[in-house]
Structure 1
Amino acid sequence: MSDDPRSFHKPVRRPAEMLDRLFSAEDPAEVSRVAHATAVALLSRVREQPADGAVDRLVSFTDQHGIDTIAELWSRSPAKSLPGTLWRIYLLQLMVHDDARTAALLYERGRARLASADDVVAGAPTPAGPDELVSLSDEILRGVFSGDFAVALERAASFCRVEAAGAADLADDHDHTEPDRATAFTARALRLTTFAEDLGAAAALWRRDALT
């Protein structure tokens, strides 16, 4: 993954590091209130009037502003909440944009390793190179704001499972020759697996009108 801070207009924390980063807060209740209020307001307004320009701006937001602005709003929210879910979708998108080559490698390795429908649900073409993975991550995020929200979350969950399988496969490759790299891929596989579980649960909650 590239460490060049010029990749963003605002130099920010790297997305892979933020997968499991925890933030402190002087007033957790207020942070939670603001996170939920902003998530509900943003999603409701755009989904009620999904103008192409508004959706495009939200899809490209992290490319222009980095991840810190969104992190300050939503990253401390519970995984199975609306702001926590939006945070995970944005972080997945930024991880692909930040290192599309690695994302594509993991996806192709995961596709070959998994015996499931996750590749079909995620919706990547065959083969899926860096450009295709960037387009897929944008398409999933676009679905959050202008499509079936639960379907978008299910696609994201499947995407995470494919990527996790690819990361685990690469970890096995490097286990004896590059143990540090193997450890890093194993950690990524575990985090992506957790993300898949969180997003799948959030999709089920949304279908029951219980994701708040």
Structure 2
Amino acid sequence: MSSPGSSSPRFRRPASLFPSTAEAIPGDPDPSTSTDLAHDSAQALLDGVFHSSDPEVVERVLRLAAQDGLSDLAALWSGSPASTLPGALWRLYVLHTWVQHSGEDVVHRYRAGSRTIPGLRYLSGFAEPPDVQQVQRTMDDILRGAFTGDLALALTRAGAVATIVAHGTAQLADEDPGPQRTRQAERLLSTGEELAMAGRHAEAGRLD
């Protein structure tokens, strides 16, 4: 990413990482019912895993999006703000799914971003730029930690990963200008900021 005084495009703040996923879900349920269902389902999932001693339950939740696709989660959670539990979990699952499906691309962007903001590497979990297997395992650990350990820390770490990848995407856009990379950088930065905010809300006990 270029210095503040450069002519590089400034990040905007879009609503979500992949809005087309949510737009593909047909129909508009009653807003109040949808909100209640989003919160109740997210809390039930979190509580159910947290209080379970069965490791298979944890692994099923970890692979929830991979097995059933993001569309089911989108129907429940994608309309929720990042400051809510369903909204935070939705962003976490989308980021996790993208890393699992596009590991090489993510690592390429991460390495470029880690040169720009190296301090966030430690928060994300990497002292050195990772390889594909490392970044995928780390996102597994982050998602697992959201359900079995410290939710605030998991969201904060995910926010750091998204922010580093956003800056790397912007750096690559500077080297090879194009509207697609710029838009991706903007959306990734928005997601990183939203996850970091959700982590702060969780730490304060205000992630409803």
Q: Report the TM-score when normalising by structure 2.
A: 0.85
Deviates more, 1:118-127 or 1:86-95: 118-127
Q: Among the aligned pairs, what percent are the same residue? A: 31
Instruction: Indicate whether 1:204 and 2:204 are aligned.
Output: no
Kindly provide the amino acid, as one letter, of the partner of residue 165 in structure 1.
H
Instruction: Indicate whether 1:104 and 2:107 are aligned.
Output: yes
How far apart, in 1, do the equivalents of 2:196 and 2:21 lie? 18
* Cα offset, 1:48, TM superposition: 2.1
2:73 to 52, 70, 73: 70
Q: 1:139 to 1:78 in 2, by over 3 A?
A: same
* Cα offset, 1:108, TM superposition: 0.6
Deviates more, 1:150-159 or 1:63-72: 63-72
Runs of 5+ consecutive residues of structure 2 not aligned to the other structure: 1-15
Partner of 2:189: 193
How far apart, in 1, do the equivalents of 2:54 and 2:85 lie? 21
Q: Is the 8 A contact 2:121 2:128 kept in 1?
A: no
Q: Which has the higher contact order (CA 8 A, sep 6+)?
A: 2
2:175 to 165, 168, 173: 173
* Cα offset, 1:26, TM superposition: 3.5
Q: Is the 8 A contact 2:80 2:87 kept in 1?
A: yes
How far apart, in 1, do the equivalents of 2:22 and 2:169 lie? 20
Kindly provide the amino acid, as one letter, of the partner of residue 83 in structure 2.
K
Once superposed, what is the RMSD of the aligned Cα atoms? 1.9
Q: Deviations over 1:132-181 (max 9, x none)?
A: 11111111101101111101011011111100010001101111xxxxxx
* Cα offset, 1:106, TM superposition: 0.5
Q: 1:201 to 1:103 in 2, by over 3 A?
A: same
How far apart, in 1, do the equivalents of 2:17 and 2:42 lie? 23
Kindly provide the amino acid, as one letter, of the partner of residue 128 in structure 1.
P
How far apart, in 1, do the equivalents of 2:32 and 2:188 lie? 28
Q: Report the TM-score when normalising by structure 1.
A: 0.84
Partner of 1:56: 59
